Structure 1
Amino acid sequence: MLSRPSFISDEAIAHAVAAHWLPDVAEIVYLPWGFGAHHWRVAGGGTTLFVTLDQLEPRHTEATLEAAYAGAAALAAAGVDVVCAPLPARSSGRFTVGVEAGALSVTPWLDGRSPTEEEANRPRHVREVEAALATLHRATPPPGLRHWTAQVGPEFAGELRARTARPWTSGPLAEEARAAIAAHDAAITRWTDRYLELADLAHSRRDQWVTTHGEPHNDNQVVGACGLKLVDWESLALAPRERDYADLLAAGAGDRLSADPAMAELFALDWRLSEIAEYARWFAAPHTGTDDDHTALEGLYEELRQVTAPGPPGPP
């Protein structure tokens, strides 16, 4: 997130990291990176950690987030080199620690950077990501790996229609967001119907599901001395392999991937509808017009612009 969390201080984060991972914390720096979680660099005693604070509801529970990060660690231990794995807490061996309204996790600090969208679309990089995902998809699923489930149900479009029927007064961007969602009611209804039809098809083929990252786009890649690593494993799940293919299909790798068009469409809709649901919650709740709020509004408009057949989605 671009803005620091209002509900917890850097000092509280440093205290939790010292208590569970790095006793001699000497420095903490907030990192205005990504969108959805908060991040810090914490250093001390010659060690540097990348610290993530994931908020829980509605996307996660403590149990599902712990299972995802434990699964990533198990994959790394099994030799899946593309995984940048979380580190276990010293006392409990768990990979998450509850703090305030979220769960804290840490990984080693990687010597590298995330590629830009332009760099990520270059043929050589696309082939590297293809190979990394092929390795992940061949991996034996770790114990306790959750199964992908539909992000919205048959009531989604109707409930959203009811919620947007009256003005929102929750913040400076609320009414603009509400009006944009309400204007796309017919498309959201159509997308939801098609999505649930495809989700049923996917579940009928569960014997073909594989271990998937869920969001392996360029912002969740790090390249450098470490090679190519995938970070942010909170969406780890057993699912159709096309769940990981959105950016690769957009980059023209479809012929090599042999992606099922129906499953590619499913996960384009999966991203779109889950994003719309998240932005509806965001702007119906109190907000003040921060940089994160404006980024969220841009993301909402990006998803609502997809009024034709759903192509491969991208991060907001």
Structure 2
Amino acid sequence: MSPSRVTYAPVGFGDYHWTVTDEDGRPWFATVSDLEHKEHCGQGAVAALKGLRQAMDTALTLRERDGLRFVVAPVAAADGGAVLPLDARYALTVFPHVPGRAGEFGQRLSEAERDQVLALLAELHGRTPPETTPPATAEPPGLHGIHEALAASEGPWPGGPFAEPARQLLREHEATLRARLAEFEALVARVRGRGAPLVVTHGEPHPGNLIQGEEGYLLVDWDTVGLALPERDLSLISADPAALARYTELTGRTPDPDALALYRLRWSLLDVAEFVEWFRGEHQRSEDTESAWKSFTGTLDHLAGRTDA
């Protein structure tokens, strides 16, 4: 592919994206990942590159081997791989440009829309996981950041304009955070003890990763794909097993309320860990940090029970 036009696309969060038109007029979507800040794929650039390759290879297999047409998988490079390292820190992945209406994170789905997504997840979870599917552990290393930040909350944080407000806010919510961390550990032990089978999961099937195409929903952003309990995906649709009845109808499996609670709590705690790391580090006041601060305070309020999920 030889690009004739490249346009930066300010979408998503974390990676960098461009729309690309090749010399034959075909559109593509190019993503450059910062491997130093892709912890869900691996700690550090080398491990993150390996994890990103596993994830993209898994998406390719699900689409090509299993025929899951809703999987928006990358295109393979000349060497057969889906991820091309640009240097020691950045890597490129190219996807077909997908026409359709993109959803938004936090968007409410109607009952009919929710059931469409549940049917999609039932089909995904029923597939034999590709050999490249990385494990998605219930206990992520990122949670250590909360413990470290709480231990360092007495002294000043000099990272930038949100550092001290973040430290003070964390101290105000210390009791809540410690209680929710203990709750998370108890849920992990309880759910793990039941020995439920693991399936291939997307990881973040929220409306922001859905595109409404001509033939139904398409699911993008497969860098979070992993072997886990089905509730890893289902928890982002609803915390109420009754609202997941379509999934039970299609699979014969009733979602575990404890596992749903585990993954919803995990999501919020990881958000806290990410924001704390951001605000403790060097940063400037910007549109991104303003948005992160709003999300940080909202997440802490939710964990304290002052807002709905």
1:1-316 → structure 2 map (5 Å cutoff): 22=1, 24-44=2-22, 45-57=24-36, 58-60=39-41, 61-77=48-64, 78-90=66-78, 92-100=79-87, 101-116=89-104, 120-149=108-137, 150-152=139-141, 157-225=146-214, 227-249=216-238, 253-257=243-247, 258-308=254-304, 313=309
- Which residues of structure 2 form unaligned runs of 5+? 42-47, 248-253
Q: Which moved more, 1:227-236 or 1:186-195?
A: 186-195
Deviation at 1:205, TM superposition (A): 4.5
Task: State the alpha-carbon separation in 1 of the partners of residues 94 and 121 from structure 2.
Answer: 23
Deviation at 1:226, TM superposition (A): 5.3
Counterpart in 2 of 1:15? none
- 2:302 is aligned with what amino acid? Q
TM-score (norm 1): 0.84
CA offsets 1:190-216 (integer angstroms, 9 cap, x no match): 111121222233444555111100000
Counterpart in 2 of 1:19? none
Contact 1:43 1:49 in 2 (8 A): yes
TM-score (norm 2): 0.86
Contact 1:145 1:237 in 2 (8 A): yes
Counterpart in 2 of 1:4? none
Deviation at 1:154, TM superposition (A): 7.9
Task: State the alpha-carbon separation in 1 of the partners of residues 107 and 161 from structure 2.
Answer: 36
* Distance of aligned partners of 1:204 and 1:93 in 2 relative to their CA distance in 1, 3 Å threshold: farther
Q: Which moved more, 1:229-238 or 1:50-59?
A: 50-59
- 1:38 is aligned with what amino acid? Y
Q: Which moved more, 1:132-141 or 1:195-204?
A: 195-204
- Which residues of structure 1 form unaligned runs of 5+? 1-21
Task: State the alpha-carbon separation in 2 of the partners of residues 119 and 194 from structure 1.
Answer: 28
Deviation at 1:271, TM superposition (A): 0.5
* Distance of aligned partners of 1:214 and 1:275 in 2 relative to their CA distance in 1, 3 Å threshold: same
CA offsets 1:48-70 (integer angstroms, 9 cap, x no match): 11111222243331111100110
- 1:48 is aligned with what amino acid? P
* Distance of aligned partners of 1:219 and 1:157 in 2 relative to their CA distance in 1, 3 Å threshold: closer
CA offsets 1:229-287 (integer angstroms, 9 cap, x no match): 10000110111111111332169723444321100111011111111111111111111
CA offsets 1:73-132 (integer angstroms, 9 cap, x no match): 100011112201111111x21111223533221110001121246865112211110110
Contact 2:60 2:74 in 1 (8 A): yes
- 1:98 is aligned with what amino acid? P
* Distance of aligned partners of 1:276 and 1:118 in 2 relative to their CA distance in 1, 3 Å threshold: closer
Q: Which moved more, 1:108-117 or 1:200-209?
A: 200-209
Secondary structure at 1:104 match in 2: strand
Secondary structure at 1:249 match in 2: coil
Secondary structure at 2:267 match in 1: helix
Contact 1:279 1:296 in 2 (8 A): yes
Secondary structure at 1:234 match in 2: helix
Contact 1:206 1:239 in 2 (8 A): no
Q: How many corresponding residue pairs?
A: 290
* Distance of aligned partners of 1:196 and 1:310 in 2 relative to their CA distance in 1, 3 Å threshold: farther
Secondary structure at 1:267 match in 2: helix
Contact 1:154 1:196 in 2 (8 A): no
Deviation at 1:309, TM superposition (A): 6.3
* Distance of aligned partners of 1:202 and 1:239 in 2 relative to their CA distance in 1, 3 Å threshold: farther
Contact 1:264 1:312 in 2 (8 A): no
- 1:59 is aligned with what amino acid? H
Percent of pairs with identical residues: 31
* Distance of aligned partners of 1:115 and 1:40 in 2 relative to their CA distance in 1, 3 Å threshold: same
* Distance of aligned partners of 1:25 and 1:154 in 2 relative to their CA distance in 1, 3 Å threshold: closer
